[in-house]
Amino acid sequence: MYSFPRLPRGIGQASLMLALHSSGVFTDILALLFSTYIFSELGCMVLFLLNRTLSLSALCVSYRLHPLPTLLLLTITILHLSFEIITQFYVFYFCFL
């Protein structure tokens, strides 16, 4: 009886990480397109925060594959996310209220 070869360890995690990153890029594109045409600044802020959440989820998945580089990327992403939250609320508060 023929048995299928086993996939290398981590293929499922790597494909999940790739899917999360690509959906994060998709939300970035949506936010850029809709900021000009449809959504308000608040809607774009929600899309950008969704993107950063997806990126953080991908990094958490990749941690099981490569712990040390992922910790560095995770630190940079968290710093970037906090900076982005502060600037987005600053822009929203002073420009729209």
* 3 found inside a domain: no
87 neighbors 45 (Cβ within 8 angstroms)? no
* 84 found inside a domain: yes
Q: 78-86: list long-range contacts, CB under 8 Å, 24+ apart.
A: 80/52, 81/49, 81/52, 81/56, 84/48, 84/49, 84/52, 85/49
* 22 found inside a domain: yes
* 2 found inside a domain: no
Confidence check: pLDDT of 40 > 70: no
* 27 found inside a domain: yes
* 63 found inside a domain: yes
* 42 found inside a domain: yes
Q: Quote the pLDDT of residue 80.
A: 72
Q: Please, which pLDDT band fits residue 81 given cuts at 50, 70 and 90?
A: confident
User: What's the predicted TM-score (pTM) here?
Assistant: 0.42
Domain count, the chain: 1
* 77 found inside a domain: yes
Confidence check: pLDDT of 22 > 70: no
Separation between Cα atoms, residue 23 and residue 26, nearest integer Å: 5
Confidence check: pLDDT of 77 > 60: yes
Summarize the confidence of residues 58-79 as an average pLDDT. 69
Q: Quote the pLDDT of residue 76.
A: 72
